[in-house]
């Protein structure tokens, strides 16, 4: 794969959808800091995990490694999509990797295909190689969504 400039991860959890945008220059540091992140649905002790990971996010200042993040209600998915599209358009000379949740993939892919995205690679989340850096980084938005969803309950 060619050298990427940005990574974008779009995911949803419950009635929330969100995205994170990460500059490739920050990836190696970020990967080290998120080593304890896990897929929420696979955990046995979900409450303890959320409490622990919230503290880690704060202590490790993980959000400072993220260029942009946004979480909205699922009904506002167009706002999330338009944020990503605007970012891609403004960075049209950059190489961008986008991972999208499987259930959102087809509608998002249709939208991304309408712009000149020759430097854009869009991949379904389930197609990410397990334990790859892309898979590890997708856990950031997954975790942020679960924290927000549980906080709002």
Percent of the chain with pLDDT over 90: 69
Q: What confidence score (pLDDT) does residue 92 get?
A: 86
CATH pick for 6-151 out of 3.30.830.10, 3.40.50.2300, 3.40.720.10, 3.30.420.10: 3.30.420.10
Percent of the chain with pLDDT over 70: 97
d(CA 136, CA 140): 8
Asked whether the predicted pLDDT for residue 120 surpasses 60, the reply is yes
Q: What confidence score (pLDDT) does residue 119 get?
A: 86
Mean pLDDT of the chain: 91
- Banded model confidence at residue 2, pLDDT cuts 50, 70, 90: low
Asked whether the predicted pLDDT for residue 153 surpasses 60, the reply is no
Which pairing describes strands 16-23 and 6-13: parallel, antiparallel, or unpaired? antiparallel
Cβ neighbourhood burial of 24 (10 Å; 0-12, 13-18, 19+): middle
Q: What confidence score (pLDDT) does residue 117 get?
A: 67
Q: Where are the domains of the chain?
A: 6-151
- Banded model confidence at residue 150, pLDDT cuts 50, 70, 90: confident
**Three-state SS annotation for 32-95:** HHCCCCCCHHHCCCHHHHHHHHHHHHHHCCHHHHCCEEEEEEHHHHHHHHHHHHHHHHHCCCCC
């Amino acid at each position: 794969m060619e050298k990427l400039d940005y990574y974008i991860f779009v995911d949803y959890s419950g009635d929330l959808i969100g995205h994170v945008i990460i500059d490739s220059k920050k990836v190696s540091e970020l990967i080290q800091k998120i080593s304890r992140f896990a897929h929420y649905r696979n955990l046995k002790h979900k409450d303890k995990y959320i409490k622990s990971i919230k503290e880690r996010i704060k202590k490790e200042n993980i959000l400072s490694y993220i260029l942009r993040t946004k979480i909205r209600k699922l009904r506002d998915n167009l706002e999330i999509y338009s944020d990503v599209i605007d970012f891609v358009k403004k960075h049209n000379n950059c190489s961008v990797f986008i991972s999208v949740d499987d259930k959102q993939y087809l509608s998002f892919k249709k939208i991304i295909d309408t712009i000149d995205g020759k430097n854009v690679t869009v991949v379904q989340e389930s197609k990410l190689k397990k334990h790859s850096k892309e898979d590890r980084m997708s856990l950031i938005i997954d975790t942020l969504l679960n924290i927000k969803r549980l906080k709002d309950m």
